[in-house]
Amino acid sequence: MHAEAGTHTPRRVVVTGIGPITASGSTAERLWAGLRAAKSPVVEVTRFDASPFRTRIAAEVQDFDAENFMDRQRARRLDLFSQFSVAATKLALDDAALNPGDVDPGRAAVQMGSALGGLSHAQEQMFNFVGRGVRAVDPRVATTVFCGAASCQVAIEFGFTGPNSTNAMSCASGTMAIGDAFRLIRDGISDVAVAGGIEAPLAPLSYGAFAIIRAMSQRNDDPTHACRPFDADRDGFVMGEGACILVLEEESKARARGARIYAEVRGFGVTNDAHHMTAPRPDGAQAAAAMRHAIAGGGMTPEDIDHVNAHGSSTPLNDSTESLAIRSVLGDRADRVPVTATKPFYGHALGASGAIEVGIACMTLRNGWIPPTLNLESPGEGCDLAYVTGEGLDAEVETVLCNSFGFGGINACLTLSSVPEDDAG
């Protein structure tokens, strides 16, 4: 019989696998190498004609071939969004050296997040309908457009029959999915989970929606310097695409199979600004509350945090508000705790961004190096923290706070801690 939440002492949860698909590299090793190279991959959009828009740049994934992860027939049945979800999960399971066949399927959860789901594929089919009629529409569009296609396709691919969900909480979706998976394992409902975020937004409708409201950078003539979190000259985010799935396991079971452990998930906090659909609450109070919940939920105090992986979207309002919220949580230590924002390496991949950042934080904990905030040359007004720049920072990091914030005022934060090498498998 499966245990129910609240019937026993909370269990420890660890990360044993990371499966990223990003513009800086797909696989954990390639992404880490991309971070070390300290170069932004942002380019002029090639997926479609972006000339009608003020913004014409993006972080495109260049090294992805679905047939490296599934047979040709299955690849043709899935749109890019679902391809990313299955492929990133396979990367994560391989990285964890975890054979899906060795997992009790009913104790395996699938928790995903995406802001837009299969919207890009739906748009393609709308063009088919308008141009050639209803017979030209892919009959599978109904099963690809909804966000839940991600977690359902993963469950089908790997046979996981446990709790299954895909949330659609904007740019906080990936972080929320990991937090939800953490709770399922902590509370004894699941033993293992694959969790993270997926986004395939590079199509005229989804891309144009953000261009129209001028949320994205217009630095079209200098794309590699367009995403510049916390910088005085930031003028909006740069859209990216991709995915990142993590393998989370109950600690004792991970140790029993000799798994390599990247990090322990300690706490999760989520709040809402209840203020505005696109602008953050000016005082950052609810963003700070989410951070405090994540810290306290991990049995820690703000003094225990020694690194922050920030949301750092490179937008005028969000970066200064996040800086204010971080300072309110860390107090005087905010002048010393290193903060980094890594979106220049893969763009703002919307619902996938938070999961990518949690994956990077896990690698930082294991490898002892904090990636730089690219293109941060002169901090803007209100951006007054100890930002990591240049070539990054060698540091023995023990505890990381990861922040993700999204449209609608959603704030999601996670705390992660290192695991001593002799205990890590």
| Burial of 132: CB neighbours in 10 Å, binned 0-12, 13-18, 19+ | exposed
Query: CB of 177 within 8 A of CB of 328?
Result: no
Instruction: Quote the CA–CA distance of 166 and 113 in Å, as a whole number.
Output: 5
In the chain, what is the straight-line distance between the N-terminal and C-terminal CA atoms, in Å?
29
- Please tell me whether residue 202 adopts helix, strand or coil conformation: coil
Closest C-alpha among 157, 210, 194, 199 to residue 404: 199
Closest C-alpha among 294, 370, 348, 350 to residue 326: 294
- Please tell me whether residue 217 adopts helix, strand or coil conformation: coil
Query: CB of 222 within 8 A of CB of 138?
Result: no
Helices (H), 251-395: 251-256, 285-297, 316-330, 353-367
Contacts of 221 (CB under 8 A, 6+ apart): none
The residues that are catalytic are 171, 311, 348
Helix (H) or strand (E) holding 81: helix 80-95
Closest C-alpha among 387, 389, 273, 413 to residue 329: 413
